[in-house]
């Protein structure tokens, strides 16, 4: 049954990786739309505020997609340091809290799966896409605290890092160089591309003018129309 499901949605094998088929793209697009509608149909807010949330979240996701194509580090077994793409997903959590941040992160994870799939196992797919990118939405935990975006960004990136480390340790340990342990290798491998982008982003977030500008963006994103 497992192989039958995989053959319906993808072609390939666990050794060489899977390539998505048309039903997979249809399902992923439907999931993204459904997740965004969950944001839009939040009954706790007025219709105008829900619409504004959807617009701001969609724009941030679009910016994350665009900047994800600008890569400064692109590792051979997956993973890249981009032009602040993680920041835009964390920003959604900072603007609207953890729930919307997580939903937007999961939707973005499915978008990344459509754009550049790297699939070897269904659990690996979940860890490296909706779980890893969804973790960026944890930034919303600190949405109301001082230096909330900085603290939230660090937490979100760390959550993504843990998801990739687990995936790497469980599914890609065969790629570990001779003389290294799989856990140490995957810890270092994923830090290689996540840490540089995180450090540069945090430095920028600590610039007062940039921080004040983001506070104004947050005010605009939440004000009544």
Q: Note down pLDDT in tens along the chain; length 225 residues.
A: 555 556 667 787 777 778 888 888 888 888 888 887 776 666 566 666 677 888 888 899 999 999 999 988 888 777 888 889 999 999 999 999 999 999 999 999 999 999 988 888 889 999 999 999 999 999 999 988 888 899 999 999 999 999 999 999 999 988 889 889 999 999 999 999 999 999 999 999 999 999 889 888 888 888 765
* pLDDT at residue 122, rounded to an integer: 87
CA distance 136 to 146: 19
* pLDDT at residue 46, rounded to an integer: 65
- Mapped onto helix, strand or coil, the DSSP state of residue 10 is strand
pTM of the predicted model, to two decimals? 0.89
- Mapped onto helix, strand or coil, the DSSP state of residue 12 is strand
The residue among 147, 160, 151, 161 whose CA lies nearest residue 190 is: 161
φ, ψ at 196 (rounded to 5°): -60, -45
Please report, for residues 79, 130, 186, 225, the alpha-carbon distance to residue 189 in angstroms, rounded to integers and kept in the order given: 9, 20, 5, 46
* Sequence spans of domains, the chain: 20-222
Class of residue 6 by CB neighbours under 10 A (exposed 0-12, middle 13-18, buried 19+): middle
CA distance 174 to 107: 30
The tokens for 29 are 């697009």
CA distance 153 to 87: 7
State in words which class domain 20-222 has: mainly alpha
Asked if 93 contacts 137 with a C-beta cutoff of 8 angstroms, the reply is: yes
Asked if 77 contacts 56 with a C-beta cutoff of 8 angstroms, the reply is: no
Asked if 139 contacts 153 with a C-beta cutoff of 8 angstroms, the reply is: yes
């Amino acid at each position: 049954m497992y192989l039958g499901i995989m053959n319906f949605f993808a072609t390939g094998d666990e050794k060489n990786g899977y390539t998505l088929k048309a039903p997979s793209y249809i399902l992923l697009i439907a999931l993204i739309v459904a997740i965004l509608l969950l944001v839009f149909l939040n009954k706790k807010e007025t219709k105008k505020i829900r619409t504004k949330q959807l617009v701001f979240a969609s724009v941030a996701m679009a910016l994350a997609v665009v900047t994800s194509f600008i890569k400064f580090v692109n590792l051979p077994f997956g993973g890249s340091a981009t032009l602040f793409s993680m920041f835009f997903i964390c920003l959604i959590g900072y603007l609207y809290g953890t729930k919307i941040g997580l939903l937007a992160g999961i939707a973005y994870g499915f978008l990344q799966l459509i754009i550049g799939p790297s699939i070897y196992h269904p659990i690996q797919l979940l860890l490296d896409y909706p779980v890893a990118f969804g973790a960026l939405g944890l930034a919303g935990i600190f949405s109301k605290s001082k230096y909330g975006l900085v603290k939230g960004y660090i937490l979100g990136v760390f959550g993504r890092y843990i998801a990739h480390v687990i995936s790497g340790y469980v599914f890609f340990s065969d790629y570990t160089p001779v003389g290294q342990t799989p856990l140490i290798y995957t810890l270092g491998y994923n830090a290689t591309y996540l840490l540089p982008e995180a450090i540069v982003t945090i430095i920028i977030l600590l610039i007062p003018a940039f921080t004040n500008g983001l506070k104004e963006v947050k005010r605009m994103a939440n004000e009544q129309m």
